[in-house]
Amino acid sequence: MSTPLFEIDKLSLQYHTNGGAFHALRDVSLTARRGEVIGIVGESGSGKSTLVSAMIGLLSANAYITNGSVKINDTDLLTLSERKRRRFRGHDIAVIFQDPMTAFNPVLPLGAQLIDFQFHRRGVSKRDKRQHAIDTLTHVGIAAADKIMAKYVHELSGGMRQRAAIAAALVMTPDVLIADEPTTALDVTMEAQIIHLLRQLSHDHDGTIIVVTHHLGVIGELCDRVYVMYAGQVVEEGPVDAIYHTPGHPYTTALIDCDLVHLDETPRTLPTIPGRVPDLAPPPAGCAFANRCEKAQTRCFASAPPRVQIAKEHAAWCFRVPGHEVAQ
């Protein structure tokens, strides 16, 4: 197998807070090959946003990476100097940000920003950069793109903004495209359109797309493989179909059960997972999900569960994967 285009290996990260070290990421590993669409799913507080920040090397001042690597084409971004890392950002790895209303600068025209984002294309004239920006906007489905270039972000509609945000990430044709909650800020019809656009992109885009979301439906629509995150750890990984139909981890099962699309009848109350995400300062000794898990045993609280291979490319970190029970 060729080396993956993008690879995160055993990444651990702590936030230093007044309450001690907060273990936001623990041994997170992830690979993405060229042409793949990867999904990262988890509820708020699962470490998704921290993972995105770590991928692009923009962490807050109190964050410390204690272990691991983030590699693009075998270059470890974490060992690079800030100057060199900056050259990767935008050019090799780019993020479609969550809320395009606040993600664009409010006092600069959209076009000026799209031209600025092509900073790393040396020796290209401003006219060509401008034309490229217009082409990219057209590519993401914005009509009359040359008029939009002169607009400010507050003058655009929600869907237009989201498309512009996607265009902003695409102007440098990055190898790794990260979509951070791409549909959270949108209503349902817009969501369908943007998912359609992203799916189209995944066909023409010669790289990898990583979709980060709390919404399983989005993952099902777009992704080839999924990583399920809980309390700063990957608890299950595998192809989308396998995750949906034969989930190995109780947390994945609970997530799917909460997704209304899978319910035959609309319930009177929305299904939820009882309990809450554990405090990660310090993290629990055993499985992080144990306090909310119906199947939890004494050993789940005492020691960390092992990685259990369920099928090719499908694994879960649990003692009690159905059909693969770890002996006591």
Partner 1 sequence: MLNYTIKRIALAFLILIVVMLGMFGMVFLVPGDPASVALGPRASPELKALLIERMGLDQPLLTQIIKFFRNAATGDLGIDVWSKRPVLDVIMEVFPNTLLLGLVSIGWALIAGIGLGCVAVVYRGTYLDRVLGVLSVSMIAVPSFVIALYSLLIFSVWLGWLPAIGSGEAGDFWSQLRAIILPAFAIGITWVGYLSRLVRASMLELIDAEHIRTARAYGLPERVVVLRYALRVAIIPTIAIIAVGLGGILSSAIFVESVFSRPGIGTLMTSAVQKRNYPVVMGTVLFMTAFYLLVVTLADILIARLDPRVRDVLRG
The verdict on 1 binding partner 1 (CB under 8 A) reads: no
* Residues 133-152 as x/- pattern, contact with partner 1 by CB under 8 A: -------------------x
| Binds partner 1 by CB under 8 A, chosen from 22, 104, 230, 251 | 104
Per CB under 8 A, the segment of 32-40, 92-100, 213-221, 244-252 that binds partner 1 is 92-100
| Strands laid side by side in the 37-41 sheet | 93-96, 176-180, 208-213, 37-41, 225-230, 233-239, 314-317, 307-311
| Nearer CB in complex with partner 1: 47/90 | 90
How many residues bind to partner 1 according to rule CB under 8 A? 31
| Nearer CB in complex with partner 1: 62/309 | 62
| Nearer CB in complex with partner 1: 97/317 | 97
- Smallest separation, CB 85 to partner 1 (Å): 9
| Binds partner 1 by CB under 8 A, chosen from 13, 32, 95, 210 | 95
| Nearer CB in complex with partner 1: 49/297 | 49
| Nearer CB in complex with partner 1: 2/60 | 60
Q: Residues 30, 7: contact at Cβ < 8 Å?
A: yes
Task: Supply the DSSP symbol for 213.
Answer: E
Question: How many other C-beta atoms are found inside a 10 Å radius of the C-beta of residue 107?
Answer: 8
The verdict on 323 binding partner 1 (CB under 8 A) reads: no
Encoding tokens for residue 148? 């939009």
- Smallest separation, CB 95 to partner 1 (Å): 5
Q: Residues 206, 263: contact at Cβ < 8 Å?
A: no
Per CB under 8 A, the segment of 28-36, 93-101, 202-210, 297-305 that binds partner 1 is 93-101
Pairwise CA distance, residues 196 & 222, whole Å: 9
The verdict on 155 binding partner 1 (CB under 8 A) reads: yes
Of 161-180, binders to partner 1 (CB under 8 A) are 168-169, 172
Q: At 221, is the secondary structure helix, strand, or coil?
A: helix
Pairwise CA distance, residues 296 & 177, whole Å: 37
Q: Residues 96, 63: contact at Cβ < 8 Å?
A: no
The verdict on 89 binding partner 1 (CB under 8 A) reads: yes
SS3 of 63-97: the string is: EEEEEEEEEECCEEHHHCCHHHHHHHECCCEEEEC
- Smallest separation, CB 273 to partner 1 (Å): 29
| Binds partner 1 by CB under 8 A, chosen from 2, 74, 107, 266 | 107
- What is the CB-side half-sphere exposure of residue 317 using CA atoms within 13 A? 23
The verdict on 182 binding partner 1 (CB under 8 A) reads: no
By CB atoms closer than 10 A (0-12, 13-18, 19+), residue 23 is buried
Closest Cα partner for 167 from 188, 148, 184, 185? Answer: 148
Of 197-226, binders to partner 1 (CB under 8 A) are none
Encoding tokens for residue 295? 């199947």
Interface residue list for partner 1 (CB under 8 A): 56, 58, 86-91, 94-95, 97, 99, 102-109, 113, 116-117, 119-120, 152, 154-155, 168-169, 172
